[in-house]
Amino acid sequence: MKVNLEVSKADSFRAFYLFFVVHTLQIGAGLMGVPRILFLEAESDAWISILVGGLYLHFIAWIMIKILREYENADILGIQTDLFGKVFGYILGCAFVVYIFLILLTVIKNYIEVVQVFIFPEIPIWLMALFLISLMVYAILGGLRVVVGTCFLFFFLTVWLVFTIYKPITYMDIGHFLPVFEASPTEILSGARQMTYSVLGMEVLLFVYPFVDNKKHVQLPVHLAVATTTFLVLLVTVVSIGYFSPYQLKETVWATLSLFKIISFSMIERFDFIAVSLWMMVVLPNVILFSWILQQSLHRLFRINKKKSLYGIGILIFFSSILLEYRLDINRLTDITAKVGFYLVFIYPVFVYLALLIRKGWRKGRSL
């Protein structure tokens, strides 16, 4: 496997679009239930956990960019092989493949379950899975620019949903945030860690970086994406804590979507139905991008034909989503994915960067 990729002009895109790629991949299925998860750890001080987690996200984004800039045009798969050798590089590459597959499956399963709970209780799992996978395959067959284009388009088609939570804001009780700083440092850090699954997706940078035209300008859009993600998680969590009572929030699995239940218009009485339907535009870029990463990784590691691997991924995800039926199993898989993602996305890049620094220092010492 070559360390540096040869990218055609037709597959490249401007650094400006990294904002939409990183942000849309971070905001997906996880945002639907993040307020409850954080509240269970830090309660009314959950907002502090988000700020701590947001700062660490910026640190990891900086680390990732520093790693990628050490090479001419490499992704994490090539960097691992160059740094740790062919055998360990392939083992670590397979770890990423398994992780990406798990997160892709959990995103699809969590959204299907939301549709069943909020709108269509009797809808077959296979029908929803087939619908999402068909859109996924169609987009990826168009090439990377189409994949990036879906992130750009769906961002503007869904960003207005943020403004619809003005109604729950008017019903917030400030007393729900008191007393402030009651949570211990351990609980604050535990809440920041629980934020992991909701903001997984920044690792896309490690795979799409070689396809960026103007690599000198990646810092700003990536950090803006991370800041926007942190702000949205903070917003929905603060509104949820202020709107729901502590008991309600602990029992409300999808607190973010539940906020839409009190919103109504003269022509639309159940706006939550509209919100859940539109949420597919939030989830779909996740499905498409993770599938593209999976396809690209399989091609890089095992030289598998991209079309064949894409169809294989679709078939495997389809049957896995049917077999994974019960909520308890979905929760267990989500927890496993979050733990694997925490180490691969938020810990592993630090070790890679340290290894690069050690190797650079060793080579510099030898040259003297």
Q: Over 70: is that where the pLDDT of 208 sits?
A: yes
User: What superfamily would CATH give domain 9-367?
Assistant: Amino acid/polyamine transporter I (1.20.1740.10)
- Tens digits of per-residue pLDDT, 181-192? 888 889 999 888
User: What's the pTM value of the predicted model, to 2 decimals?
Assistant: 0.93
Q: In whole angstroms, what is the distance from residue 305 CA to residue 324 CA?
A: 28
- Tens digits of per-residue pLDDT, 295-319? 999 999 999 999 999 999 999 999 9
Instruction: Copy the structure tokens of residue 131.
Output: 């619908």
Q: In whole angstroms, what is the distance from residue 205 CA to residue 266 CA?
A: 43
Q: In whole angstroms, what is the distance from residue 77 CA to residue 184 CA?
A: 39
Percent above pLDDT 70 for the chain: 99
Q: Residue 368's pLDDT is what?
A: 60
71-98 in b/e burial notation, b at 16+ Cβ within 10 A?
bebbbbbbbbbbbeeeeebbebbeebbe
pLDDT category of residue 334 using cuts at 50, 70 and 90: confident
Helix orientation angle between 46-68 and 348-367, rounded to the nearest 10 degrees: 30
Q: In whole angstroms, what is the distance from residue 141 CA to residue 143 CA?
A: 5
pLDDT category of residue 253 using cuts at 50, 70 and 90: confident
Domain boundaries, the chain: 9-367
Beta pairing partners, 212: 13
Integer CA distances (angstroms), 202 to 17, 115, 198, in order: 14, 26, 11
Burial class (CB in 10 A: 0-12, 13-18, 19+), 364: exposed
Instruction: Copy the structure tokens of residue 128.
Output: 């929803």
